[in-house]
Structure 1
Amino acid sequence: MKHLKETAFDENIAISPLAIPILAGPGTIVTAMNFVSSGNFIHIGIVIAVFAMMCILTHWAFRLGDKLVLRVGKNVITVIGKIMGLIIAIIGTSMIIEGIKVAFDIQVSGIN
């Protein structure tokens, strides 16, 4: 039986350039701007309350990240990170393909 050496693991999992657009990306900002621009003070208050709630949830997720890693395990966190990276790569590839289709006016029949 072959045993692998202990792998190096980055203990600071909360800081990730991939997580920043997920928290408040262009889609989130545009949606909030559209919702607020055509709304009244109640709509503005709802948007601010939702953003505040997301900030609080994100803060607690980062504060409890070490306990989560201890409970779930480093290997599971690594696997989830790799799966999320793959999903983001697939979304990016799809966006590039759609951009090329639009830029060159390519019509593909039978495939969306």
Structure 2
Amino acid sequence: MIEHYISFSLSAFVALFAMINPLATAPIFLGLTGHLQRPLKNRIATQSIVIGFVLVALFCVLGNLIFTLFGITLPAFRIVGGLLIIMCGFQLLNGQDNSVAVPSHEDSEESLNSALSIALFPLATPVIGGPGAIAVAMSYSADAGIVGVTCTIASFAVACFITWLVFRFSTEVVRFIGKGAIKLISRMMGLILAVMGMQMLIVGIHGAYMLFPNLP
């Protein structure tokens, strides 16, 4: 029995770690926070990981109940998440200064709140706790019992901790590759974000069609 749960946990960890993919999300984090001071970057990193973890953990425990209670389907969640990440991707790709991608510096308090909003979107969701991670976590925790749900959440916690370490050391990466490269990375990650969002949108639309095949 113990070997089964060890194998189960390792499988869940690999799937969730691949879904987050810290090496791919680190440049996104750099592109969004490269202009901020290290204490604020570390705060954003911690908040994004905590929020993303709590979000996925809640769906592991209450996912089916939440979807049923509010009449939400996973395809609908994917469609909305895809549209949001496409919007953020285009903003990064065009180098626009806005409250989502790059906070304003006109007012310090407003800028701080805007910067911290990055922790919620797009880092906590959909980059860390997005539809993909939620879907994987729910698929592992569904009908797995209390121990299975606990193993899934623990596996995701380890993946989040590794991602947090990658985020925390992003400053050294910025210093090593330079500000010019960060701008290039920001635009490249904008393109990747837009493509990721489009992929989520396509999967969501396909899933919606499978749920309602008789709709015109």
TM-score normalised by length of structure 1: 0.61
Identity in percent: 29
Cα 1:63–1:37 change in 2 (3 A) is: same
Partner Cα separation in structure 2 for residue 89 and residue 65 of structure 1: 22
Q: Which amino acid aligns with 2:195?
A: I
What does the per-residue CA deviation read over 1:58-102, in whole Å, with 9 as the maximum and x for residues that have no partner?
221222121111112222222122111112223434536x849x5
1:76 aligns with 2:181: yes
Higher RCO (C-alpha 8 Å, min separation 6): 2
Partner Cα separation in structure 2 for residue 66 and residue 27 of structure 1: 28
Cα 1:42–1:99 change in 2 (3 A) is: closer
2:35 to 1, 6, 10: 10
1:8-47 alignment, distance < 5 Å: 10-11=35-36, 14=41, 15=44, 16=118, 17-20=121-124, 21-47=126-152
Unaligned runs of 5+ residues in structure 2 are 1-33, 45-117
TM-score normalised by length of structure 2: 0.36
Coordinate RMSD, CA, aligned: 3.2
Q: Which amino acid aligns with 1:30?
A: A
Q: Which amino acid aligns with 2:142?
A: S
Cα 1:37–1:89 change in 2 (3 A) is: same
Q: Aligned-pair distance for 1:38?
A: 2.4
Greater helix content = 2
Partner Cα separation in structure 2 for residue 23 and residue 32 of structure 1: 12
Q: Which amino acid aligns with 2:138?
A: M
Cα 1:75–1:50 change in 2 (3 A) is: farther
